[in-house]
Amino acid sequence: MSKFWSPFVKNLVPYVPGEQPKLSRLVKLNTNENPYGPSPKAIAAMQAELNDSLRLYPDPNGERLKQAIADYYGVQSRQVFVGNGSDEVLAHIFHGLFQHGRPLLFPDVTYSFYPVYCGLYGIPFEVVALDEQFRIRVEDYQRPNGGIIFPNPNAPTGCLLPLEAIERLLKANPDSVVVVDEAYVDFGGATAITLVDRYPNLLVTQTLSKSRSLAGMRVGLAVGHPELIEALERIKNSFNSYPLDRMAIVGAAAAFEDRAYFEQTCRQVIASREQLVSELQRLGFEVLPSAANFVFARHPGRDAEGLAAGLREQGVIVRHFKQERIRQFLRITIGTLEQNQALIDVLAPLC
């Protein structure tokens, strides 16, 4: 431990992102990146922004992007917040909306950044167990809390909570902020953004890293009541008043405006997912119902860590978690048809 560290740093347990291998010729199915590239209109918009104006600061409020998001979802731009990926947006949410001294609630199997942020900002939390089918039970969140957060679809399980269940959760917790983290919602779910005008305690976050194929650009957003958005703006402007660069703003706006390309690639991922599920089931895997661009699967006769190691030896990378309850599962990103077939070809002899 360095003597120069602030005292709290030694107790932090940082988030560990999925591996980004440096080797070429890998079938990379471990970090839920979209197998299809960004919208050609987004690329063209970013290329057009590569000019002398880069000497100038970008719009600190990202108004063009906010308006594109507002137009897409039928909300007002003052209900939209943007930041460097949904992780930064989530960090501002934890900092600005969850520090009430009461425990934050989130599932026991979920996005592992949540407890990291709690440690960073000194937020007490309680994990709420998923049921035997790895689904969220709304009734388990009817207890005193300082906020609620969960991904929908959940990660890493891929299981979806329907909107009517989210409404029940909101009605049962009118004095708490409920954050629905929709990183994967475009692959089979319905967004809770349709509920924000009726529930002032609802905040919905999304990312352009998954369904809009801009993981390398780092753009995230939140949509909710203007009072919630104002809290995030206050945090942002006390931390980094220029979060998005010029190319990110125009590229992300163009990605939202290109609905046809977005819908086409989402359909392709969904079709590939259903085909991969059938192939995995044919090999004897149990696959949880997924509304995401990944599947969560286990084989009753094979150890998951051993399968992951065997796949890696053959150049196929998937994600394995060591958490006790899910240590026999593999999370497999949906790739192209060719990548999915390569996975099955290597996996079949191992099963």
pLDDT tier for residue 2 given thresholds of 50, 70 and 90: confident
Other C-beta atoms within 10 Å of 33: how many?
19
Other C-beta atoms within 10 Å of 196: how many?
22
Q: Report d(CA 191, CA 206) in Å as an integer.
A: 10
pLDDT tens digits for range 189-247: 999 999 999 999 999 999 999 999 999 999 999 999 999 999 999 999 999 898 999 99
With b for 16 or more beta-carbon neighbours within 10 A and e for fewer, the 132-162 pattern comes to eebbbebeebeeebbbbbbbbbbbbbbbbbe
pLDDT tier for residue 35 given thresholds of 50, 70 and 90: very high
CATH fold group of domain 45-258: Aspartate Aminotransferase; domain 2 (3.40.640)
Q: Give the number of C-alpha atoms closer than 13 A to the C-alpha of residue 251, restricted to the C-beta side.
A: 27
In 38-189, the DSSP E strands lie at 80-83, 104-107, 125-128, 147-151, 178-181
Domain 7-37+260-350, architecture per CATH: Alpha-Beta Complex (3.90)
pLDDT at 47: 97
pLDDT tens digits for range 141-181: 999 999 999 999 999 999 999 999 999 999 999 999 999 99
Gyration radius of the chain over CA positions? 20
Q: Is the pLDDT of residue 1 over 60?
A: no
User: C-alpha 320: how far from its chain's center?
Assistant: 17
Question: Domain segments of the chain: what residues?
Answer: 7-37+260-350, 45-258
pLDDT tens digits for range 67-110: 999 999 999 999 999 999 999 999 999 999 999 999 999 999 99
Q: Report d(CA 273, CA 335) in Å as an integer.
A: 8
Global pTM exceeds 0.75: yes
Nearest to 105, CA basis, from 152, 156, 154, 144 = 144
Question: When comparing pLDDT for 1 and 326, which is higher?
Answer: 326
Q: 319-320 and 147-151: which strand pairing? A: unpaired
Other C-beta atoms within 10 Å of 273: how many?
24
Q: Report d(CA 150, CA 136) in Å as an integer.
A: 9
Residue where the block lists tokens 């057009």: 48
**Angle at the Cα of 92 from the Cα atoms of 91 and 98, rounded to 5 degrees:** 90
Write the CA distances from 305 to 85, 195, 329, integer angstroms: 30, 40, 8
pLDDT above 90: percentage of residues in the chain: 91
pLDDT at 331: 98
pLDDT tens digits for range 105-142: 999 999 999 999 999 999 999 999 999 999 999 999 99
Contacts of 3 (CB under 8 A, 6+ apart): none
| Cis before 156? omega within 30 | yes
pLDDT tier for residue 14 given thresholds of 50, 70 and 90: confident
Q: Report d(CA 304, CA 297) in Å as an integer.
A: 9
pLDDT tier for residue 24 given thresholds of 50, 70 and 90: low
User: C-alpha 295: how far from its chain's center?
Assistant: 14
pLDDT tens digits for range 297-323: 999 999 999 999 999 999 999 999 999
> What value does the mean pLDDT take over residues 15-26?
66
Q: Report d(CA 147, CA 10) in Å as an integer.
A: 26
pLDDT tier for residue 13 given thresholds of 50, 70 and 90: confident
Nearest to 117, CA basis, from 158, 140, 85, 149 = 149
pLDDT tier for residue 22 given thresholds of 50, 70 and 90: low
